[in-house]
Homo-oligomer: A and B are copies of this chain.
Amino acid sequence: MGLIVQKYGGSSLADVEKIRNVARRVIALKEKGNQVVVVVSAMGSTTDELLSLARQFTSDPDERELDVLLSTGEVVSSALLAIAVQSMGHKAVSLNGGQAGIQAEASYSRARIRAVVPRRIWSELGEGNIVVVAGFQGITEEMDIVTLGRGGSDTTAVALAVSLGAEACHICTDVEGVYTADPRLVPEARKLGEIDYDEMLEMATYGAKVMHPRAVEIGKLYNMPILVACSFNDSPGTLIHGGTTVELGNKVRGVAHDLNVAKVTVLGVPDRPGIAATLFEPLAQAGISVDTIVQNTSVDGITDLTFTVAQSDLEKASRIVEPITRSIGSRGCVTAAGLGKVSIIGSGMQNTPGYAARMFKALSEAGINIEIISTSEIRITCIVDGGKVPDAVRALHSAFQLEEE
């Protein structure tokens, strides 16, 4: 009995029958006495179709216009879901990002939410409506439409839940929750009943696709419980929350992996202050997220610097880095694609030694060579050959006995 925000992704809304299924689910939630706000993504492959239409005109369409174009996908879903709910005899209304009060910065294709002003949502809830909000989009001060980038609909949902003071935010998707590892790679992988924000953040950042880290971050900041659950059945899902009740028995919570990894090594970098900024600021400005950065101790004031980027960003990153390598007097750069990341994650690890050693041993026993290592307090990540990633995930899942409760 309260206010619930549910988000449904594109695969849960891919066709008329699936939209009807979502309508039945949100109606059931309403009939239990809840006020319901539903955030929707674009149907199935709509976003890709719109994108490919735009790319028939130019390989690099203007970001403002692309945002206008792509935002229509979520608007279509929102209207259709409202119609589906109404066709079942319940009141519903669709709102686009601007109407829902999602105010965003004027940064096309990857805007951040500045504020949520959900006045209209409250008034529609007051009228007894199920409120369907088009996800992934916001409106700038100039009344321009912007999209929120990857994970945008998850972010819309959690931000709305926070600003409405919702009881919980449900992320409804095509998997049943968060698993100890990808079940497609590890058949023994176990669904987690709960996970804390920090662990989920690391899982999501290091490859678990189920939820976007941005949205987890907002949840963590405002302590909003997030339930990741399946759109197609009533299995209980995974609750992401503040962690006070998280069982601490097994200190590795899960294994995450990511196959979209490439590395760039800048050779013979003069070891003087400001070099890293010269290199990484232009990458950040281009929206390229740099992950692991490794720099060896310098010998004679010269060092090598290696960092990883998403493989899909490699070409763009090389174009930016190459001229810089010359200007800073390095010996140039080499790149390698086809890498992968495997990570073990668990908040119990941070005060307990020996996890790294067990991880390296398990990989070594599986015949897997480690290229780069990086760690956080609750995570250890190894960069390995992409082809070895499935074996690595299985080896780690087994070494840390994650199949056991």
- Among A62-70, A185-193, A322-330, A388-396, the stretch that binds chain B is A62-70
Q: Known pairs A50-B76, A64-B93, A69-B79. 17 more at Cβ < 8 A?
A: A53-B80, A54-B79, A54-B80, A57-B83, A58-B86, A61-B86, A61-B87, A62-B83, A66-B83, A68-B75, A68-B78, A68-B79, A68-B82, A68-B96, A69-B83, A72-B72, A72-B75
Most buried by B among A65, A80, A94: A65
Report yes or no: B54 in contact with A143, Cβ–Cβ below 8 A. no
A-B contact pairs, 16 of them (CB 8 A): A16-B53, A16-B56, A16-B57, A19-B57, A20-B57, A57-B84, A58-B86, A61-B86, A62-B83, A65-B79, A65-B93, A69-B79, A69-B80, A69-B83, A72-B75, A120-B143
Indicate whether A65 sits within 8 Å of B53 (C-beta atoms), given known contacts A76-B72, A143-B98, A143-B99.
no
Report yes or no: A62 in contact with B86, Cβ–Cβ below 8 A. yes
A interface, CB within 8 angstroms of B: 16, 19-20, 50, 53-54, 56-58, 61-62, 64-66, 68-69, 72, 75-76, 78-80, 82-84, 86-87, 92-94, 96, 98-99, 120, 143-145
Smallest CB separation, A50 vs chain B (Å): 7
Q: Which residues does chain B contribute within 8 Å of A65, judged by CB atoms?
A: 79, 82-83, 86, 92-94
Interface class of chain A by DSSP: helix
Report yes or no: B56 in contact with A68, Cβ–Cβ below 8 A. no
Q: Which residues does chain B contribute within 8 Å of A80, judged by CB atoms?
A: 53-54, 57, 69
Measured in the bound complex, the distance between the Cα atoms of B72 and A80 in whole Å is 12
Q: Which residues does chain B contribute within 8 Å of A96, judged by CB atoms?
A: 68, 145
Could you say how many copies of this chain the assembly holds? 2
CB-based closest 7 A-B pairs: A69-B79, A58-B87, A72-B72, A68-B79, A57-B87, A65-B79, A16-B56
Measured in the bound complex, the distance between the Cα atoms of B83 and A50 in whole Å is 12
Q: Which residues does chain B contribute within 8 Å of A54, judged by CB atoms?
A: 79-80, 83
Indicate whether A68 sits within 8 Å of B50 (C-beta atoms), given known contacts A57-B16, A57-B83, A83-B57.
no
Most buried by B among A54, A83, A93: A83
Measured in the bound complex, the distance between the Cα atoms of B56 and A157 in whole Å is 27
Look across to chain B and name the residue whose beta carbon is closest to the beta carbon of A143: B99
Q: Which residues does chain B contribute within 8 Å of A99, judged by CB atoms?
A: 143-144
Q: Which residues does chain B contribute within 8 Å of A50, judged by CB atoms?
A: 76
Measured in the bound complex, the distance between the Cα atoms of B201 and A189 in whole Å is 71
Measured in the bound complex, the distance between the Cα atoms of B92 and A105 in whole Å is 22
Report yes or no: A58 in contact with B75, Cβ–Cβ below 8 A. no
Indicate whether A76 sits within 8 Å of B83 (C-beta atoms), given known contacts A57-B16, A64-B93, A98-B143.
no
Look across to chain B and name the residue whose beta carbon is closest to the beta carbon of A132: B65
Indicate whether A83 sits within 8 Å of B98 (C-beta atoms), given known contacts A64-B93, A68-B78.
no
Measured in the bound complex, the distance between the Cα atoms of B333 and A368 in whole Å is 86
Look across to chain B and name the residue whose beta carbon is closest to the beta carbon of A76: B72
Report yes or no: B79 in contact with A94, Cβ–Cβ below 8 A. no
Smallest CB separation, A135 vs chain B (Å): 15
Look across to chain B and name the residue whose beta carbon is closest to the beta carbon of A142: B120
Smallest CB separation, A61 vs chain B (Å): 5
Q: Which residues does chain B contribute within 8 Å of A98, judged by CB atoms?
A: 143
Look across to chain B and name the residue whose beta carbon is closest to the beta carbon of A23: B57
Look across to chain B and name the residue whose beta carbon is closest to the beta carbon of A68: B79
Measured in the bound complex, the distance between the Cα atoms of B53 and A249 in whole Å is 51
Q: Which residues does chain B contribute within 8 Å of A64, judged by CB atoms?
A: 93
Look across to chain B and name the residue whose beta carbon is closest to the beta carbon of A87: B58
Q: Which residues does chain B contribute within 8 Å of A16, judged by CB atoms?
A: 53, 56-57
